[in-house]
Structure 1
Amino acid sequence: MFKEPLIVLLFLLLVTPAIGCTTFVVTPGASENGEMYVGHTNDGLGECVLGHNLSEDKTRVVYIPPSDHPYGSERPVLYDPNAGTDNPGGEEILGYIPELTHTYGYFTSAYGIMNEYQLMAGECTDHAKIAPDAEAGERMFYSSELSNVVLERSKTAREAVELAGNLIDTYGYYGNGETLIFADPEEAWVIEMCGGNLSDTESLWVAKKVPDGTVFVASNMFRIRDIEPGNPDILYSENLFEVAEKNGWWSAENKTLDWLSTVSNGEYSHPYYSLSRIWSVYNRISPSQNFSPYVEDSFSREYPFSVFPDHPLNDTEIFSLFRDHYEGTVFDLTTGIAAGPYGDPYRIRGKFDSHTDFEEGEIRPGAWPRPISAYYCAYSYVTESRRDLPYPVGGLCWFGFAQPSETCYTPLYSGTNTLPYSFENGNRSRFNRDSAWWSFNFVTNWARIQYSYIFPEIKEEQQKHENLFLSRQAVIEEEALEILNREGEDACREYLTSYTVDTAEDLVSSWWNLSDSLVVSYTNGGIFDPVSKSTTYPGYPDWWYQDAGYQYGPRIYDVEDLDSIPDLVYVNETVYTAPGSEYEYILKHQNAENCS
């Protein structure tokens, strides 16, 4: 058969593997405007997979236009090096599947994002007991390529999960366990997948519909639990029960099969690596349910598949689901010695924080809490699908590069024909002001110098732009609809493309201006006021001076004796005594302080 040139689909190879992602669904009944939303963070230090002529280590989003193909042609399926397993054959192409005569246009990056028919996707990697290697012609699909194939061929969420399941059944699955979300304006489905064994090509999958009115969240662990045969809202591979029993994971005597505990050991990396993120979202949107941050084990049923929020969520609240470092909770990353004097919520990964399988009974030396807004986030987005708007106008992707907490979400309409150069041309290995990713990543990195002072300035800029985008959304879409009715789809797409590109480019320019102003205002420990042209030096907070041992510095000549005083207290005052009696004075008042 005719084989299309490899330029149709080329994958980029990322040097550093994905660390793990967070993804969610807000169904129409849970949103203020009655629309469907899907969110995804790609926490991998860079882009993981699809690139279309991309070189290594890119951080970008690309638009794949709709395309016509010769009858009888085939589509190559390429190996994903970030699947967490090997490709023993070493070939980039794992095989071919029949091509359609027409495929849909869509946004994609590490995984498929959204297509022209408002079909949305989200993803996270999960722990699975079996993670088979790729095998040419036998195990051909990992979730990244699977999500792209589904977006180019499906219009509804139900079609999407059925196609994904069929592709897994027909061509096999390799790599780590995975969760994919597919949602259209009416329905949202979650499909989870993994290998069934290492010796053959058996692969397993289950899918579940998200009930309307609820919010679903996944964060690097399977979220589907009991499989109910005959339930129209649950689908699964025909071999599920057979393979589970053959592997000794489940017995027919148990009747109910718990997908999570059957095919997985639960969380990745360490306890609460996944569950604390699920708790954080549920705790913020539904505080009335008093979800506990603590659970008994990795298979806890403390957090249901999805929850009803206490009130319908608006756009800003939905964006904020990703902007979280556990502020104000038991896992708060903005407090304590590790956050430094200025409440820096980001942590350099310790050697036991790596995204590796956590086994039951394993006790590692330690770990940081794993936040939703992680410093190694390459990008995040919130897609929005509107049932009352036609396809060129209805699909909207709010896209943000780098860390969600400090990024700014810009609107990318699914009816556009192209994206800004700076969005499609990012390279993490080379600083470049023509890259959108670098503008946002630079701002967050500079903010870590004096986070508690700088973050409010970033937040102000973020809110200014996002509020502007939201406020003019109705006007833009009304104009787009008028053009659609008056001049047709092509003219409507051109209008939306112009707005999308101009808005995104203006935002990137504004963010570079912000970065430049922060460099000037916050340098060498000072804070420069461009209005008064004066610089202040706020120094460190008193608790930091105490914890850092500032009081043991050379404030008297008898430093050796000073250093011997146990639990010396920082008092933030200057006193005077007779020359030569400084040590005795400090010792006397230190003892008095301790007694009080």
Structure 2
Amino acid sequence: MLRTLRGRWATPRAAAWAAAGAVLVAALPPVRACTSILVSRGASKDGSVIITYSADAPFMPRLLRVPGGKHAPGAMVDVRGWEDDEVRGQVRQAETTYTVVGLMNEHQLSLGETTTGGRRELVDRKGQLDYDAMMLLTLQRAKTAREAIATIDALCKEYGYGSSGETISIADANEAWIMELIGKGPGRKGIVWVAARVPEGYITSHANMSRITTFPLNDPDNWLYSPDVISFAVEKGYYRTDSGRPFSYRDAYHPDQGPSQKRACAGRVWSVCRRAAPSQNYSDAYFRGVEGAEDYPLFVKPDKPLAVSDVMALMRDHFEGTPYDMTKGIDAGPFGSPLRLRDLTFAVDQKRYMWERPISTQQAGFVVVTQGRKGLPDAIGGVTWFTPDEASTSCFTPLYCSIGALPAAYERGDYQKFSWDSAWWVTNLVSNLAYDRWSRVYPDVRKAQEEQEAALLKMQPVIEEAAAKLAATDPALASTFLTNYSVSTGESVFRRWQDLASSILTKHVDGYLKTGKGHPSAPGYSPEWLREVVKSRPEQFKLPEAKQAGETDH
């Protein structure tokens, strides 16, 4: 989750901070949400290490590039994250920092996260590093996933950690790691944590709920942990060594896994599992809160290696094809919309209910799918597929980790004012035009999405082959080439979405559907939905049996 606090990125103060953040956001109430998938090199179709991150909170992100460089010994740097423009003190600057584009650095290291909460007494609001500042500093200082784990630990020990429990996705060109961490409470610096390497040929996912339970203590190639992860739990009374049970990180630090949390969080993990490995027939019982039901495995072997397009598709899920399909039922409205307004929980006649919570949600501020690839130079192998807004109604565009500039449309905007020049606003316009008439409008969106992304994925090896040839003799020219490609591609995607918004409004204006020749037709509502309307109020809409001569619809 990206938790919004104070300040708008559109303010002058935030603009001055452009060189030190990956994404800045508008000030809105915090929303507990995010989804991340990690794909090991052996589980991907082309040998990529892939992670995804849907930042699900109602804000406007502005994509920023953070230049790296050399710094004088003893230099200090302001601590800020990407969520706001608040200065949280200063830390010692590293002598060398690395360029960051989005949430990937020039060495193909990328990060994602979901907020898991955990024990409230372990939050130290005076800790200097919120999770976003911690992640950004790490991307500027670490080259590999293992270095990132050590850097996160060291930073929190020195400066204190100020957020609640987090699950962090960490990937480089070789490995993917899932790391869970939580602070030690007011007045105590540092974190307790455990990290697991995603086995080759497997994937994992997390969605605002702790995933790691028991783990081996003697497998440093695949499992790392803080030396006091168990002893601290014993000290605080979270675990008893004489209990006869092995230590479980989740049971100790995230013990409250209630029905609503399972419904909202474990449901997304289930959907990743059931779509990536349908042959396993993963049960829905755990996320539906069935007593004693088995949790989903931390690591899942997909039925077939996943292409980047497959991973993008996983991020567009609304439980389609399951009993919880959000495009079905009376709650989907007359046009089968997956949109469910917040709050997730509601009451009717003093009974509590809850909407389904899908991976793809209207509250997403941005979504990324990052690729790291061992067989390519860092400047070419590292690419972030980025889109503002939610994945199901938007289009991913590639941004290579070595680029020296960004598409201008992705840097513009103000949450308080619509703009045709802002990629965030235009992408949101398309999604909001689709929500209310989903079954009619979404096919147009999906067609544009498929065409655009298929063309970009087809071009990717061609562009990278050309870049590799340039890099062999002139790395700077290769970087310029990739910059020009990333910028022009992003602007092209933006212009297509501008055209898409205009065409949707033109084609579907006032409830009509225009034919290819521009003639309006009135398709009305589906028989299924009309049947439900009549069922709810049969007498109100009923007409006499015979229509009088000369009567017409108006």
The structure-2 alpha-carbon separation of the partners of 1:8 and 1:34, relative to structure 1 and needing over 3 Å to count, comes to: closer
**Aligned-partner Cα distance in 1 for 2:478–2:83:** 39
Q: Given the superposition, is the C-alpha separation of residues 298 and 371 from structure 1 closer, same or farther in structure 2, using an over 3 Å criterion?
A: farther
Unaligned stretches of 5+ residues in structure 2 = 1-15, 550-554
Label 1:300 to 1:98 Cα distance change in 2 as closer, same or farther (>3 A).
farther
Find out whether 1:184 has 2:195 as its counterpart. Answer: no
1:194 aligns with 2:182: yes
* Counterpart AA for 1:69: H
- 1:39 aligns with 52
Residue of structure 2 equivalent to 1:319: 312
Note if contact 1:260-1:299 (Cα within 8 Å) is conserved in structure 2.
no
Contact 1:268 1:274 in 2 (8 A): no
Q: Tell me the secondary structure at the aligned position of residue 448 of structure 2.
A: helix
Matched residue SS, 2:471: helix
1:490 partner amino acid: A
Classify 1:556/1:20 alpha carbon distance in 2 versus 1 (closer, same or farther; 3 Å). closer
CA distance in 2, matches of 1:353, 1:257: 36
CA contact (8 A) 1:393 1:480 kept: yes
* Partner SS state of residue 41, structure 1: strand
Q: Does 1:69 align with 2:80?
A: no
Instruction: Tell me the distance in 1 between the aligned counterparts of 2:107 and 2:82.
Output: 26
| Correspondence for 1:60 among 48, 59, 62 | 62
Moved more, 222-231 or 472-481: 222-231
Q: Find out whether 1:231 has 2:244 as its counterpart.
A: no
Give the whole-Å Cα distance in 1 for the aligned partners of 2:151 and 2:174: 18
Q: Contact (CA 8 Å) 2:157, 2:189: kept in 1 or not?
A: no
1:513, 1:80 → 2: CA distance? 30
1:97-246 map, 5 Å: 97-108=91-102, 113-130=103-120, 132=122, 134-136=124-126, 139-198=127-186, 200-201=188-189, 203-232=191-220, 233-246=222-235
Measure the CA separation in 1 of the matches of 2:79 and 2:339.
37
| Residue from 284, 304, 327 that aligns with 2:297 | 304
Which of 363, 388, 391 is the aligned partner of 1:404? 391
Report the AA paired with residue 418 of structure 1. Answer: A
- CA deviations 1:45-93 (Å, max 9, x no partner) are 11xxxxxxxxxxx3221111112222210222247878xxxxxxxx944
Which residue is 1:349 aligned to? Answer: 342
Please give the alpha-carbon distance, in whole angstroms, between the structure 2 residues aligned to 1:81 and 1:509.
Answer: 27
Cα distance, 1:439 vs structure 2: 1.4
Q: Could you give the per-residue CA deviations for residues 336-392 of structure 1, whole angstroms, max 9, x where no partner exists?
A: 1110011000100136379xxxxxxxx971111100000111110110111111011
CA distance in 2, matches of 1:200, 1:353: 38
Select which of 243, 248, 255 maps to 1:258: 248
Distance 2:198 2:229 in 1: 21
CA contact (8 A) 2:124 2:185 kept: no
- Higher deviation after alignment, 273-282 or 64-73: 64-73
Q: For residue 40 of structure 1, give the secondary structure of its aligned residue in structure 2.
A: strand
Quote how far apart the aligned CAs of 1:554 are: 5.2
Q: Is the 8 A contact 1:130 1:196 kept in 2?
A: no
Secondary structure in 1 matching 2:79: strand
| Amino acid of the structure 1 residue aligned with 2:194 | V
Q: Which amino acid aligns with 2:172?
A: D
1:562 is aligned to: none
Structure 2 Cα separation of the partners of residues 93 and 73 of structure 1: 17
How far residue 325 of structure 1 moved from its aligned partner, in angstroms, is 0.3
Distance 1:470 1:353, change over 3 A: farther
2:525 aligns to what?
540
Distance of aligned partners of 1:199 and 1:102 in 2 relative to their CA distance in 1, 3 Å threshold: closer
**Letter matched to residue 121 of structure 1:** L
- Tell me if the contact between 1:127 and 1:268 (Cα under 8 Å) persists in the aligned partners: no
Contact 1:206–1:237 (CA<8 Å) still a contact in 2? yes
Q: Which amino acid aligns with 2:326?
A: L
Equivalent residue of 1:305, what SS?
coil
TM-score scaled by length of structure 1: 0.83
Q: What secondary structure is seen at the aligned counterpart in 2 of 1:227?
A: coil
Deviation at 1:465, TM superposition (A): 0.5
| Counterpart residue type for residue 128 of structure 2 | M
1:545·1:551 contact (CA, 8 Å) conserved in 2?
Answer: no
Q: CA 1:461–1:230 in 2, change beyond 3 Å: closer, same or farther?
A: same
Encode CA deviations 1:156-214: one digit per residue, 9 max, x unaligned.
Answer: 11111111122223322222211111111111111111123346446322111111110
Q: CA deviation at 1:9?
A: 3.5
Residues 129-171 of structure 1: CA deviation (Å, up to 9, x unaligned): 12555555xx222221111111111111111111112222332
SS in 2 for 1:365: strand
* TM-score, L = length of structure 2: 0.89
Deviation string, structure 1 residues 290-313 (Cα, Å, up to 9, x no partner): 100112569964311110001111
Residues 411-468 of structure 1 show CA distances to partners (whole Å, capped at 9, x for unaligned) of 1111111101111223322101111111111111001232101111111100100010
Counterpart of 1:330 (choices 323, 327, 336) is 323
Deviates more, 1:293-302 or 1:266-275: 293-302
C-alpha distance 216-474 of structure 1, shift in aligned 2 (>3 A)? same
* 1:542-557 map, 5 Å: 542-549=527-534, 551-553=538-540, 555-556=542-543
Percent identical pairs in the alignment equals 31
The answer for the alignment partner of 1:437 in structure 2 is 424
**Alignment pair present for 1:519 and 2:505:** yes
CA deviation vs aligned residue, 1:533-579 (integer Å, no higher than 9, x gap): 2111111112222222375335447xxxxxxxxxxxxxxxx75699x
The one-letter amino acid of 2:96's match is H
Equivalences, count:
523
SS of 1:378's equivalent? strand
Q: Does structure 1 retain, via aligned residues, the 8 Å contact 2:393–2:446?
A: yes
Q: In the alignment, what sits opposite 1:508?
A: 494
Instruction: Give the SS at the match of 2:263.
Output: coil
The structure with the larger Rg is 1
Kept in 2, the 8 Å contact 1:119–1:151? The answer is: yes
Tell me the alpha carbon deviations over residues 235-286 of structure 1, each in whole angstroms, 9 at most, x when there is no partner.
Answer: 2222222221122110112462111111012369543111110000100110
Q: Does 1:19 align with 2:32?
A: yes
Q: Alignment partner for residue 489 of structure 1, among 471, 475, 482?
A: 475
What is the RMSD computed on CA atoms of the aligned residues?
2.5
Q: Contact (CA 8 Å) 1:228, 1:256: kept in 2 or not?
A: no
**How many angstroms does 1:20 deviate by?**
0.7
